[in-house]
Structure 1
Amino acid sequence: MPGRFAKGIDAIRIMKQATLNYSVDEVRVIATSVLRDASNGKEFCDKVRELTEWDVQIISGDQEAEWIHSGVAMTTIGVPNRHLIMDIGGGSLEFIIAEREKPNGKSEILWKQSFDAGVARLEDFGKPQDPMGHQGAERYKPFLDFTLSPLCQALNRYKPLVLIGASGSFDTFLDLVRGGGEPKGDLQPNEGRERVEIIDRDVLEKVHETLLVSNLQTRLLMPGMSPPRAQMIPLASLLIQTVLRWMPKTTTLMRSPFALREGVLAEMLNRPR
């Protein structure tokens, strides 16, 4: 089997064993951008079914955005302003503009779109040097401006005042901004752990500058860095700064601990039995 195919199957086998260890009685396997575009996606799904008896559900970018919104919306109760949700994946980016008519009302999607411009794709076609440097970042600007132009148009139309990052890379950026430390009173209004948290934009810009000029070994030593994300995090940072460049300078940046996974789980819990 090809290397990536085999690694994917190995990961599924590990998860299968974990579900047996914990006596899990229901499993949903959701596949996103990589299998949406893979020429051997059906072959992979068939192999998973053969080895585990699990059916793999390959979802569209539109469905992915819907579930990301459902997950993040559980953490944005009390966020007063129209907001943009951003999810950074390896293969794709999802953006959702949403708002609540009332502080405790239902979150409604005003606009959403998935883009084939995740960090792994950017790395594959751009092959940035390490460190990427400012010149390397500038090389991506024409591509991002063109590819994400529908997002820029939506921002001009709906004018969200808050950017909320959906877990993943944003968890790491929150930790980097804190220098690996604990929260210092910047929690937002929900009680408990299920809430959005503010990311200091001024500090994030400094982190971005550091990421651009640091090689992998140096990035791994940064307080708060998640080792699995260290290789591609300069590209994730570039994406965030690109989006912030199109939003007002007063835009508040937040991180939600929830995303796609929690959106799927919410649907499972809320469906009729």
Structure 2
Amino acid sequence: MGMIGCDLGTNTLRVVEIDCKTRRRVKEFERIVKTGQNLKKTGQISTEAIHNIFEALRDASKIFDFEKHKVKCVTTEAMRLASNSREILQEIRQEFGLDFQIISGDEEAKYTLFGVQNALKVLNQFDNDFCMFDLGGGSTEIIYANKPTPSYKSFPFGILKISEKYNETQALEKGIEHELNQIDPFVLDHDKPKRLIATAGTPTTVCAFLQGVDYKSYDHKRISGQILRRDDFKKAYKQLFALDLSERERFCGTNRSDLIKTGILIVIGLMGKLGFDECVIVDDGLREGVALSLCHFGFI
């Protein structure tokens, strides 16, 4: 039986159908919608973002049978902050029959951890002696799984937020350093585990790029379980931004390369703050955890 999980993030709409027996993906969908674009200035989800979200959901409806399958839909930081989020979610409910729930940062971390743990089991790499980060558009979750009860915290910085706040390269690097100082007390409060897991779009895009795989040819099976070092992210940064825009977008996706630029710099900084020189890349995250929660595995 397939279960569908939908994740409307600050930057991206991601949908997946999971087979409960195999715990593997049946089909998936992803679209950049920039939900949180200009949110800091206006306090609202923009007309352009609303259009992007609805167009993406119409396309997703052609791929997934939302009426015949159990569906769980969540949305995160941008909708948590926007003053018009309730009205937008009501319109989505009326047009698509999809009930998006605004979840807290803690809930986001729990679902993401569940998705990552499942992916590690599928890869035969399961071991809870790890910490992980999920770098989103509007927030970043850091989770320590190396204890009987996982410890997690959501921080109010992400790729889209930082890109809009610090829009020049020099200011961007200093801004990232400033934003990442928020995590110091949380990190210092935990013993360092054996491994670091990195999920979300930037680590997976960099991993694909270093394999010569472009955005349209992306295959999560070639990505999850791969190991990248901090130097790999630095190398990818130099190589990507030596390309012209059209070639760069072939690897990053249309209108996505500036966000990947910010994302790479954040990942390099996060790895340093967390004390790791290498990380395991896992493609699965929030949407997979949401879908798996419907499979009655004793989660939320």
Whether these two folds match at TM > 0.5 is: yes
**Is it true that 1:56 corresponds to 2:100 in the alignment?**
yes
Match of 2:154 among 101, 108, 114: 114
Partner SS, residue 281 of structure 2: strand
1:270 counterpart residue number: 296
- TM-score normalised according to structure 2 size: 0.70
What runs of 5+ residues in structure 1 fail to find an aligned partner?
Answer: 102-107, 129-135, 182-191
Q: How does 1:1-273 map to 2 (within 5 A)?
A: 2-20=47-65, 24-77=68-121, 78=125, 82-99=129-146, 108-109=149-150, 111-128=151-168, 136=169, 138-158=170-190, 159-180=192-213, 196-211=225-240, 216-217=245-246, 219-220=248-249, 225-228=251-254, 229-248=256-275, 251-270=277-296
Partner of 1:179, secondary structure, is coil
Q: Which has the higher strand share?
A: 2
- d(CA) in 2 for partners of 1:140 and 1:161? 31
Question: Which residues of structure 2 form unaligned runs of 5+?
Answer: 1-45, 215-220
Secondary structure of the residue that 1:180 maps to in structure 2? coil
**Residue 29 and residue 7 in structure 1: after superposition, are their counterparts in 2 closer, same or farther (change >3 A)?**
same
* Superposition deviation, residue 17 in structure 1: 3.9
Query: Partner amino acid for 2:205?
Result: T
How many residue pairs get matched? 242
Q: Deviation per CA, 1:74-109, whole angstroms, max 9, x where unpaired?
A: 2335455732211122222111121267xxxxxx41
Structure 1 residues 160 and 152: CA distance shift in structure 2, 3 A: farther
Q: TM-score, normalised by structure 1?
A: 0.76
Determine the C-alpha separation between the residues in 2 that align with 1:52 and 1:179. Answer: 37
The separation in 1 between residues aligned to 2:230 and 2:209, in whole angstroms, is 12
Q: 2: distance between equivalents of 1:193 and 1:74?
A: 17
- Secondary structure at 2:71's aligned position in 1? coil
TM-superposed deviation, 1:67: 0.5
Alpha carbons 2:208, 2:223 under 8 Å: kept? no
| Partner of residue 7, structure 2 | none
Q: For the residues of structure 2 that align with 1:139 and 1:2, how far apart are their CA atoms?
A: 29
Preserved CA contact (<8 Å) 1:81 1:161 = no
CA distance in 2, matches of 1:265, 1:174: 25
Deviation sequence 1:189-244 (CA, Å, 0-9, x none):
xxx889522124433221123346656345235xxx23243231110001011112
Q: After superposition, what is the alpha-carbon deviation per residue over 1:37-85, rounded to whole angstroms, capped at 9, x for unaligned?
A: 1110011011112212222111111110110111111233545573221
Name the SS of the counterpart of 1:113 in structure 2.
Answer: strand
RMSD: 2.9
Cα 1:262/1:13, change in 2 over 3 Å: same
- Quickly say closer, same or farther: Cα 1:226–1:195, change in 2 above 3 A: closer
Instruction: Give me the whole-angstrom Cα distance separating, in 2, the residues matched to 1:68 and 1:252.
Output: 20
Percent identity reads 24
